Chain A
Amino acid sequence: MTLAIRQVTKSFGQHRVLDALELEMQPGELVCLLGRSGAGKTTLLKILAGLLKPEAGSIWFDEEQVDYAESHARHDIGLVMHQPFLYEHLTGIENLRFYARLYQVADDAAALEAALAQVGMQRYGGKPVRAYSRGMKQRLTIARALLHDPRILLLDEPYTGLDLQGSLVFNQLMLEQKKQGHIVIMTTHDLSHALPISSRFAFLARGRVAEDLPNRELSLDTLENWLTLKLAKPNSEQQKVAA
């Protein structure tokens, strides 16, 4: 599946967050979105998920314009955001069962146990989510996002709360997703973990993809230096304040 973002524009009041943004992705790619706070990374993810409507521009899956009113389009998308989307009083397995039923995928015990095992949570499925640590909730919500086998994954700071083990499990999962030809877009500050799995790094500034850096044997130092330089460039707002 290919993904194309064409001329997407979004403003909040007077503030234009995304300005005719363009981005194309091939199957099996993982794009890491980088940029200052407020650059529009989360906004872009929400638009891709169909939660926000852009004022202009369109999203294309496989050369067909996406109609987010159609549920089959939305069922091709998996989303992980800052909030866990979990129900505290239900157990891990019950949360998964709920989402499995909503998406009308297999909700039998075996399938759900397998989903838990994917993120290393097979021993905790029977406990209520209330009792989970932040890292455990993060793992469960990742399992939740993958449950309906979406071809497009949108992840906002997925490493939040994950310990080293959890980050490695996550990376492994992402490599498998890439092998299956799925597309992953993620935002993160955790460059050391993102580096081994990212195909490209897209830097967002002034509402557009200011630079698109392919991951050709990049070292962590090179990546970090590149990012530091990009972040150091002043944008128009900060210039006004300085003046």
Chain B
Amino acid sequence: MRDWLHSVRTLVWKDLLQEWRSKDMLTAMFAFAILTLFIFNYAIELSPVNRAEIASGIIWVVMVFAGTLGLNRSFTAEQDQGCFDALVMAVPDVSAIYFGKMLTNWLVMLFVSILILPIYSLLYNQSLINLGFILILVLGAWCYSAAGTLIAGMTVQTRMRDLLLPILLFPILMPVNMAVVKAAGGILAGAPLVEVQAWLVLLAAYGIIVTTVSIMVFEYVIRE
């Protein structure tokens, strides 16, 4: 177990260092997110009445689409340089590779969303700096990353690569979409955390189930 955690930590360190040097994922996601926010700002008029719900919807949609850019890139290094083989030989279990990637994707997604929130607040003149809201984003990003890492591990090895990821990921992600938008919308509208707890439970359940299934199944994505 200690070995497993150690290898996960090493993998995450490597991924974050790679990402920091290349800034591939970060710049793409960030640029995409900002541009999409601008488009939304132009397209949707927000009255004080519907602000709360629409805000959560916009932020989450932006994250979902920007997230696919990040996911697509997260496996390219291993795929192009053939590193999977070397990793499989070194780690105690293949699940460590999945978990390490998943954590990296989660952290990158969170980082981007932290950057986005103030910009949204600026554009829409509405503060999103709200603990409950951020908690929901953190949970949502975890669920997104859990499912997305598994699927991206597969799609990066297919012919269609980037194109296939949204098609495969989005149906699986529907519960998360509903939960995040509704819960976050509720929080912004002023409801206390207790009221949206059903959604939080759903997110937690999704996170646990998908992470567990992925850990068990990821081996078959990498090895023959």
Direct A–B contact in the complex, CB atoms closer than 8 angstroms: yes
Please give the residue numbers on chain A whose beta carbons come within 8 Å of chain B beta carbons, in ascending order.
49-53, 71, 74-75, 77, 79, 81-90, 94, 98-99, 101-104, 128, 144
Q: Give 1 or 0 for each of B173-201: 1 = CB within 8 Å of chain A CB.
A: 00000000000000000000000000000
Output the least CB separation between A48 and chain B (Å). 11
> Is there contact, CB below 8 Å, between B21 and A128?
yes
Q: Which of A49, A77, A87, A89 touches B83 (beta carbons < 8 Å)?
A: A87
Determine if B82 and A87 form an interchain contact, defined as CB atoms under 8 angstroms apart.
Answer: no
Q: Identify whether the interface residues of B are mostly helix, strand, loop, or mixed.
A: helix
Count how many pairs of residues, one from A and one from B, have CB atoms less than 8 Å apart in the complex.
74
Q: Kindly specify which of B3-11, B36-44, B207-215 makes contact with the partner chain.
A: B3-11
**A98:B22 contact, CB within 8 angstroms:** no
| A90 → B minimal CB distance (Å) | 6
The answer to whether A87 touches B14, judged by C-beta atoms less than 8 angstroms apart, is yes
Chain B positions near chain A (C-beta within 8 angstroms):
3, 6-7, 10-11, 13-14, 17-18, 21-22, 77, 81-83, 85-93, 223-224
Measured CA separation A86–B82 after assembly (Å): 8
Q: Which B residues lie within 8 Å of A86 (CB)? A: 81, 83
- Chain A residue contacts of B77, Cβ below 8 A: 87-89
Name the residue in A53, A84, A98, A103 with the highest tally of chain B Cβ atoms < 10 Å from its Cβ: A98
B7–A83 touching, CB < 8 Å: no
A80: nearest chain-B partner, CB-CB? B86
A51 & B92 in contact (Cβ 8 Å cutoff): no
CB distance from A142 to the nearest CB of B (A): 13
Bound state CA distance, A53 and B224, in angstroms? Answer: 8
Nearest CB to that of A49 among chain B residues? Answer: B89
Give the distance in Å from the alpha carbon of A55 to the alpha carbon of B17 in the complex. 40
Q: Which of A79, A89, A128 contacts B85 (CB 8 A)?
A: A79
For A102, the chain B residues whose CB sits under 8 A away are 7, 10-11, 87, 90-91
Q: Is the CB of B21 within 8 A of A103?
A: no
- Residues in chain A near residue B91, CB distance under 8 A: 71, 102
Q: A74-B90, A79-B86, A87-B81 are in contact. List 5 more A-B contacts (CB 8 A).
A: A49-B85, A50-B89, A75-B90, A79-B85, A87-B14
Q: B18 contacts A89, CB within 8 Å?
A: yes
Q: Which residue of A lies closest to B90 (CB)?
A: A102
CB within 8 Å for A81 and B89 given contacts A52-B224, A102-B7: no
Partner of B89, one of A79, A90, A98: A79
Q: Please state if B82 and A83 are interface contacts (CB–CB under 8 Å).
A: yes
A88 CB contact (under 8 Å) in B3, B81, B85 = B81
Say yes or no: A51 contacts B85, CB within 8 Å: yes
Which residues on the A side are within 8 Å of B90 (C-beta)? 74-75, 99, 102-103
A85 with B14, Cβ < 8 A, contacts A51-B88, A51-B89, A77-B89 known: no
Instruction: Chain B residues near A128: list those with CB within 8 A.
Output: 21
Q: Is the CB of A98 within 8 A of B14?
A: yes
Q: What's the Cα separation between A50 and B40 when bound, in Å?
A: 51
The smallest C-beta distance from A147 to any residue of chain B, in angstroms, reads: 10
A224 to B92, CA, bound (A): 43
Whole-angstrom distance between the Cβ of A104 and the nearest chain B Cβ: 7
